[in-house]
Amino acid sequence: AQSVTQPDIHITVSEGASLELRCNYSYGATPYLFWYVQSPGQGLQLLLKYFSGDTLVQGIKGFEAEFKRSQSSFNLRKPSVHWSDAAEYFCAVKFSGSARQLTFGSGTQLTVLP
Amino acid sequence: GAVVSQHPSRVICKSGTSVKIECRSLDFQATTMFWYRQFPKQSLMLMATSNEGSKATYEQGVEKDKFLINHASLTLSTLTVTSAHPEDSSFYICSARDPRGGTEAFFGQGTRLTVV
């Protein structure tokens, strides 16, 4: 079955520390992959996306993600976290041929300590 | 980038009344829009796919008579929560795909519905 998993429900890091948020998917082919950020009470903002090509993708706000086919993963990274990065992060997947727009992971809540 | 506007951002209504939420694509025509529901501390769950000029496609378990969707034009889809109950209180988000930009989806700001 097609699925998206974000193993970490909540992550806490100190400001200035590096960050990695995990995302795994289950699918027989390569889907389209997205990372979104949601601030409290707000909609979703696209951070980055992967369709094909270079497996290391650069996004907005200093984020990047790496697609690893062998691990069926698309982990989000940032070398130095800022307090304003505290938010909920969602990995989303578009499975080819699916009638649905996007399948979302359960989300990871990021807390940034001063 | 493409912009999707959702209105209102927050609404409080009494039980038994109906509430309409609008989703507009501001700089592109969207033949398809999507409505999601998000419970506190949870992910987004697709409720229905709104198709311009035809009936919406509802996900399993979503009551089509309670959540009426109308996609009357290429830039506007509306979700009406009919006879609202407190359990309908939730965060509702719409999205649309710009047909010029591939499979990227743009999201509205969301609507916080509270039924009292």
Q: Does B43 touch chain A (CB under 8 A)?
A: yes
pLDDT at B2: 61
Best of A101, A103, A106 to disrupt the B interface (most B CBs within 10 Å) is: A101
Measured in degrees and rounded to the nearest 5, phi and psi for residue B27 equal -135, 20
Q: Answer for the pair B5, B26: CB distance below 8 angstroms, yes or no.
A: yes
Whether B43 sits inside 8 A of A99 (CB atoms) is no
One digit per residue, pLDDT tens: chain A, 114 residues? Answer: 778 999 999 999 999 999 999 999 998 777 889 999 998 877 889 999 998 899 999 999 999 999 999 999 999 999 999 999 999 999 999 877 655 568 899 999 999 999
Q: Which residues from chain A sit within 8 angstroms of residue B109, using beta carbons?
A: 42-43
**Cβ within 8 Å, pair B110-A42:** yes
The answer to whether A22 and A6 have CB atoms below 8 angstroms apart is yes
Residue of A2, A49, A50, A102 for testing the chain B interface, max B β-carbons within 10 Å: A102
> Which pLDDT does position A97 carry in this prediction?
64
Question: Which amino acid is present at B112?
Answer: R
